[in-house]
Amino acid sequence: METRTILHIDANAFFASVEQAANPELRGKPIAVVGGHGRTVITTSSYEARAKGVKTGMAIWEGKRHCPELIIVVGDNKKYQHTSTKMNEIFRDCTPEVEAFSIDESWLDVTHSLSIFGNAENIAYLIKARIKYQFDITVSIGIAPNKLLAKLASDMHKPDGLTVIAPENVARTLELMPIQELCGVGKKMQRHLNMLSIYTCGELGRCDEARLTRKFGIIGKRLKQMGRGIDHSPVVQFAEEVDVKSVGHSSTLERDISDPVEIRRFLLQLSEMVGSRARRYSVSGKTIHLYVRYADFFSSWGKQTTLKNYINQSDEIYRAALGILETVELEQPVRLLGISLSNLKHQAEQLPLFEDERKKLFATQAMDTLNDRFGRMSVTYGTLLPGKETAGSHVIPPSWRPDGIKNVDVE
């Protein structure tokens, strides 16, 4: 197999860096980017804030406890999307093989660009310089023979790092590397491996495969490979990316609610968000999942139902979700509601046979077009209009991709 050269590029404290670049008054100061309104958490904090102990996921009050002078900035998704898209354009100047992993991380397979640029470090320095010049933000870059190691490498020096794991240094680098540094080993997996006296990648790579398979099933083999730094997964360009498996939307309410009318209104709103996104990407699905988190935060449940037909109309999604809701007795006021549509298939463009269905389709398309142009929920079903806006925060999820199906609704 051909030796590959993969770059992993990770924008440092992305949302916070974009804000600091846009507003000189924020530079050099501890800032935290949070979701719009409602009950929100810190999505990103600047390095100045991190130094004081502010972490992603903290509530605002918690962040301020660590750092009283913390400046709270409400996130601006449009800015981040724009920057991310432009950054990926810079990457594509170096190789067409770019895979956007999230809004602030991409992999580049530069194997076939090396002859043009000389070597991978040149590419990395070029990218760093262009991004610094154009956006005034820094990135950490990892260079390695595969995606797993490139990602590991980009994490080793932050911010503004450049780390190379050459093929001949893989074993030495991994020998003492804690297993939890590997992408794919989370808290639970770490605990399980620790119980087997496995703490480092070196130990993981030497572990008997049968032992790992007994404990972890099919993942056991993969784990051993990860410990040895083996990863054959390709850098998948956007155009050839596999189809999405589900489209969902969930939101924490501004306050806990138990009024059935309010709950239904919110459900309809979520249905519209899921439906419009599914329609925009021409998918429909037949499994509806409803998720409810109660006021105490800890108790929650999810129920799903599979229909005979594939649907993507908001009112159909709403009816299915409501059907699920009606099978349960709510035990507490509701904190969060979520709906997702799965079991998806690509919807061929086809006009319905019957006049009333055609009318409905045209009406939906007109509504989607207006909402695309003037913003989400400018036009919607009548029952949504009265009453106050209940949509939760507008935090952009890191699963967002620069362009394509995972694009999330923004204002």
Partner DNA sequence: TCTGGGGTCCTAGGACCC
Active site residue ranges: 105
Applying CB under 7 A, which of residues 178, 302, 352, 404 lies at the interface with DNA?
302
State the nearest-atom distance from the C-beta of 277 to DNA, in Å. Answer: 6
Q: What single-letter DSSP state applies at residue 200?
A: B
Number of residues that bind DNA (CB under 7 A): 63
Among 251, 269, 313, 371, the residue binding DNA under the rule CB under 7 A is: 251
| Strand order across the 31-34 sheet | 42-45, 31-34, 71-74
Q: What are phi and psi of 311, to 5 degrees?
A: -130, 155
Residue 379: φ, ψ to 5°: -120, 130
Q: Using CB under 7 A, which residues numbered 385 to 404 contact DNA?
A: 392-393, 395, 397-399
DSSP state string for 343-368: EEEEPP----SSHHHHHHHHHHHHHH
Q: For residue 253, give the nearest of 268, 263, 238, 242 by alpha carbon.
A: 263
If the CB atoms of residues 43 and 113 are measured against DNA, the closer one turns out to be 43
Shortest Å distance, C-beta 199 to DNA = 15
110, 144, 204, 336: residue in contact with DNA (rule CB under 7 A) = 336
Residues 56-115 binding DNA (CB under 7 A) are: 56-57, 59-61, 101-102, 104-105
Instruction: Confirm or reject binding of residue 156 to DNA (CB under 7 A).
Output: no
**Smallest distance from DNA to CB 167, Å:** 23
Examine residue 217 and tell whether it contacts DNA (CB under 7 A). Answer: yes
- Does 303 help bind DNA (rule: CB under 7 A)? yes
- How does DSSP classify residue 410? -
Q: Coil, strand or helix: which one is 90?
A: helix
Nearest CA-CA partner of 367 in 379, 383, 352, 382: 379
Among 43, 84, 173, 284, binds DNA (CB under 7 A): 43
Nearer to DNA, 138 or 287 (CB): 287
Report the residue number, 105 or 316, with the smaller CB distance to DNA.
105
Least distance to DNA, CB of residue 192, Å: 7
Q: How far is the CB of 110 from DNA (least distance, A)?
A: 21
Helix (H, G, I), strand (E, B) or coil at 72: strand
Q: Which is nearer to DNA, 113 or 276 (CB)?
A: 276
Q: How far from chain centre, in Å, is Cα 349?
A: 29
Pairing between strand 162-164 and 139-144? parallel
Distance of CA 318 to the CA centre of its chain: 25
Q: How far is the CB of 248 from DNA (least distance, A)?
A: 3
- Residues 40, 253: Cα–Cα separation, whole Å: 10
Closest to DNA by CB, 159 vs 398, is: 398
Among 186, 352, 375, 404, indicate the residue that binds DNA (CB under 7 A): 186
Q: What is the 3-state secondary structure (H, E, C) of 91-116?
A: HHCCCCCEEEEECCEEEEECHHHHHH
Contact status: 301 vs DNA (CB under 7 A): yes
Contact 393, 36 (CB under 8 A): yes
The CA distance from 46 to 59, in Å, is 15
Please, how many CA atoms are within 13 Å of residue 381, restricted to the half-sphere of its CB? 20
Of positions 29, 39, 55, 360, contacts DNA by CB under 7 A: 39
- For DNA, the binding residue among 218, 239, 348, 351 (CB under 7 A) is 218
Query: Counting contacts by CB under 7 A, is residue 7 touching DNA?
Result: no
Shortest approach of DNA to residue 71 CB, angstroms?
13
Q: Is 163 in the site for DNA (CB under 7 A)?
A: no
Element housing 300 (H / E):
strand 300-311
* Interface positions, 281-300, toward DNA (CB under 7 A): 286-287, 297-298
DSSP type of residue 68: T
Binding residues for DNA restricted to 124-153, rule: CB under 7 A: 151
Q: Provide the minimum distance between the beta carbon of 356 and DNA in the complex, in angstroms, as a whole number.
A: 27
* Tokens read off for 242: 């596999």
Comparing CB distances to DNA, the nearer of 48 and 104 is 104
The per-residue DSSP string of 6-50 comes to EEEEEETTHHHHHHHHH-GGGTTS-EEEE-SSSS-BEEEE-HHHH
Contact set with DNA (CB under 7 A): 35, 38-41, 43, 56-57, 59-61, 101-102, 104-105, 151, 182-190, 217-219, 242, 244-252, 273, 277, 286-287, 297-298, 301-306, 336, 338, 340, 342-343, 392-393, 395, 397-399, 406, 408
